[in-house]
Amino acid sequence: MKSACCLGLAAACAALAARAEISAAELESAVASIEPRVVEWRRDFHRNPELANRETRTAAKVAAHLRALGLEPRTGIAHTGVAAVVEGKLPGPAILLRADMDALPVTEKTDVSFRSTATGEFRGKTVGVMHACGHDAHTAILMGVADVLAGLRDRLPGRVLLVFQPAEEGVPEGERGGAPLMLEEGLLDIARPEAAFALHVGSMLNTGRVMLRPGPLMAGSDFFKIVVTGRQSHGSRPWKGVDPIVASAEIVSALQSIVSRQTDITDLPAVVTVGAINGGVRHNIIPDSVEMLGTIRTFSEAARADVIERMGRIASNVAEASGASATLEMMPAPNPPLVNDPALTGWATRSLERSLGADAVTTSRLLTVAEDFAYIARAVPSVYYWLGVTPGGQDPAAAPDNHSDRFYVDEAALPVAMRSLLGLAVDYLQSPSRPEPASR
The nearer residue to Zn ion, 102 or 341, going by C-beta atoms, is 102
Which strand (E) or helix (H) includes residue 276?
strand 271-278
Write down the least CB distance from residue 100 to Zn ion, Å.
Answer: 6
Write down the least CB distance from residue 175 to Zn ion, Å.
Answer: 18
Provide the H-helix boundaries in 222-300. 244-261
The nearer residue to Zn ion, 158 or 170, going by C-beta atoms, is 170
409 counts as binding Zn ion under rule CB under 5 A:
no
Write down the least CB distance from residue 402 to Zn ion, Å.
Answer: 6
Q: How far apart are CA 354 and CA 24, in angstroms?
A: 9
Write down the least CB distance from residue 237 to Zn ion, Å.
Answer: 49
Could you please report the per-residue DSSP string of 185-217? TTHHHHS--SEEEEEEEEEEEETT-EEE-SEEE
Write down the least CB distance from residue 165 to Zn ion, Å.
Answer: 11
The nearer residue to Zn ion, 133 or 254, going by C-beta atoms, is 133
Which strand (E) or helix (H) includes residue 85?
strand 81-87
The nearer residue to Zn ion, 155 or 406, going by C-beta atoms, is 406
Size of the chain in residues: 440
141 counts as binding Zn ion under rule CB under 5 A:
no
Interface stretch with Zn ion, choices 133-141, 156-164, 314-322, 329-337 (CB under 5 A):
133-141
Task: Name the E strands within 110-152.
Answer: 119-122, 125-128
The nearer residue to Zn ion, 133 or 356, going by C-beta atoms, is 133
133 counts as binding Zn ion under rule CB under 5 A:
yes
103 counts as binding Zn ion under rule CB under 5 A:
no
Residues 6 or more apart whose Cβ sits within 8 Å of residue 102: 50, 51, 52, 53, 54, 55, 135, 166, 167, 168, 169
Closest residue to Zn ion, based on beta-carbon distance: 133
SS3 315: helix
338 counts as binding Zn ion under rule CB under 5 A:
no
Count of chain residues binding Zn ion (CB under 5 A): 1
Burial level of 7, CB count in 10 A (0-12/13-18/19+)?
exposed
Write down the least CB distance from residue 374 to Zn ion, Å.
Answer: 13
Site string for Zn ion, 147-176 (x = CB under 5 A): ------------------------------
Closest CA to 299 of 273, 263, 268, 271: 268
Beta strand 125-128 pairing with 325-330? unpaired
Write down the least CB distance from residue 104 to Zn ion, Å.
Answer: 7
Could you please report the per-residue DSSP string of 332-348? S-PBPPEEE-HHHHHHH
- Contact set with Zn ion (CB under 5 A): 133
